[in-house]
Structure 1
């Protein structure tokens, strides 16, 4: 098997935590190179990796087959366009782009250049989301009436990642955390008919949005997506009510913490939540009321890179398409417009 020589566009937290460990462990990939302007952090951890001092230098290397654009969100459109024009396959961190127009252009360009394009929506592979999807797929709740998904934290200070606090394109919690929640909602329920967005800024000295309450309107139900940096005592991350029953589940995926602690993906009990985080299922089956805590599926971001491998080597479908990434931006644009005009936006 010819390994997929893969290069990262940065080696900050995204590269160090969310990409390099999986590329290094997966047998079909070779962690070939990284773009670091002045540092050599990647080589310190991976001695065989090649360091590039510019994007142009990296894209000129004909040995590279796949590039991961994991730089600040404001750069995604420009850098991804350069990667595609170089003829290399590309994985783009979320948010895909700042606008739908940019996303449409990149999708079309990838088709013209005959390269693979995928957006890294890794939270599809969180333990809590996988479990919620299983409960819905198995029909335990009947027809959904209301679903509420949270991504809350207590973190009133400004981020040490300066680029996240500068009011530029694709910045703010609706793009950062909202991308995750919107993608999960679209995975579960498809595109909504309309969107209402309430966005605000509450942290002292903050210049970017750090709060959102977005409602997605479907013909038969509603989906609420919420995030705030002022939640010291968090509500469950997933609250779903249907015609048969309810499912309540915390947002408790442990993969990010495991990766930051240096745990190797695929090791024993990878992505296994503590038993105390089991979700509560209260429903009925065949006339019998059921109220019990059910096991949580293991989270596993490796499923994303396995999907990329299948796409590049076995003509499989990419795990997240450009169109799926673009639909997330479509909802974000609608939420921003709704907040500005104080009205529901039809899609």
Structure 2
């Protein structure tokens, strides 16, 4: 243990809907040195829940109560997608470090503007791409780093759900900038592909609205081309019987993985990373992926244990980066590239053609 004092970073959380409640507050609270000082909540039920769960935290009703508070070092934005840019800009102008929930912004030009402003203000800016800390994604990364599949030829990742009915009373089903499944789930799948393979050469996409009465896209297939490697990313709301979450095929073998990281379902069921720390983010054996490959001349076909997932890792990294101990894992430029791919995907789907990747 180091004997130097932990620097305290005071956090102001904007938004206590599902995102703030499940994906931010529990993990902020789980990092020594991060102090959840204020939560901005508006709905009566959100205010009541925030007070019950975080009795030490001040619950405020305006964003100004956070921006104008000199004690607050880091502002976390967990509000509706269309508000990300304006709130992040206001927080940076107020001299705060900023972490924005994904998707970073609605457009890549907004993302560029925030990156420039953060540099001018010498403040850190990062994006909550928490799915890099999923158990199965961490496992996929290890399989590739260990070169267990030979030369990778095809990577396919799905984020499928079954929700035939439209959700009531949510901005996510309204035809707003940044709404729809491509910004919501696509932001995760694209970010993961960029982490593994970098920026692609071309982008192709097919984006559809499949559910009756839906105002927003609820299905996509995005294909990123990297020379001989193809990364296929798919999500839909009308998949009752789900296939594999990850399928990787290389010159020596394949890795197939069913099921999703368990953290989201655990959080929804009321478990938090501190209460069940021993088993947090550990996948049950029936969800472990299957590796079928050749290792040193031996044919191996069997399960491999999943890595442990924990979104606390993202907040631990944010803390360490702010206090100068390590680099940011989620760089704002990477998040900007994700938004750029979403823009190119929408163009590809409209024009029904493959689009060369470029940042402008």
TM-score when normalising by structure 2: 0.94
Match of 1:5 in 2: 10
For structure 2, the 5+ residue unaligned runs are 1-5
Match of 2:159 in 1: 151
Matches within 5 A, 1:105-116: 105-116=113-124
2:136 is the counterpart of 1:124: no
Match of 1:166 in 2: 174
Cα distance in 1, alignment partners of residues 278 and 297 from structure 2: 40
Match of 2:72 in 1: 64
**The residue matched to 2:160 in structure 1 has which SS?**
coil
For structure 1, the 5+ residue unaligned runs are none
**The residue matched to 2:72 in structure 1 has which SS?**
coil
User: Is contact 2:30–2:312 with CA below 8 Å preserved after alignment?
Assistant: no
Q: Deviations over 1:148-184 (max 9, x none)?
A: 1000011111124521011111111000000000001
Cα distance in 1, alignment partners of residues 260 and 354 from structure 2: 32
User: Is contact 1:35–1:54 with CA below 8 Å preserved after alignment?
Assistant: yes
Q: What is the total number of aligned residue pairs between the two structures?
A: 347
2:317 is the counterpart of 1:307: yes
**The residue matched to 1:25 in structure 2 has which SS?**
coil
Q: Deviations over 1:42-71 (max 9, x none)?
A: 122211111221112221111100110010
User: Is contact 1:215–1:223 with CA below 8 Å preserved after alignment?
Assistant: yes
Cα distance in 2, alignment partners of residues 38 and 340 from structure 1: 38
User: Is contact 2:82–2:178 with CA below 8 Å preserved after alignment?
Assistant: yes
Cα offset, 1:313, TM superposition: 1.2
2:303 is the counterpart of 1:298: no
Cα distance in 2, alignment partners of residues 338 and 254 from structure 1: 33
User: Is contact 2:136–2:257 with CA below 8 Å preserved after alignment?
Assistant: yes
Cα distance in 1, alignment partners of residues 7 and 224 from structure 2: 44
Q: 1:217 pairs with 217, 225, 228, which one?
A: 225
TM-score when normalising by structure 1: 0.98
Cα distance in 2, alignment partners of residues 122 and 68 from structure 1: 14
User: Is contact 1:128–1:250 with CA below 8 Å preserved after alignment?
Assistant: no
2:239 is the counterpart of 1:235: no
Match of 1:208 in 2: 216
Cα distance in 2, alignment partners of residues 218 and 38 from structure 1: 46
User: Is contact 1:148–1:223 with CA below 8 Å preserved after alignment?
Assistant: yes
Cα distance in 1, alignment partners of residues 114 and 108 from structure 2: 10
Match of 2:286 in 1: 276
**The residue matched to 2:29 in structure 1 has which SS?**
helix
Match of 1:340 in 2: 350
Match of 1:32 in 2: 37
**The residue matched to 1:11 in structure 2 has which SS?**
coil
Cα distance change on mapping 1:198 and 1:245 into 2, 3 Å:
same
Cα distance change on mapping 1:324 and 1:147 into 2, 3 Å:
same
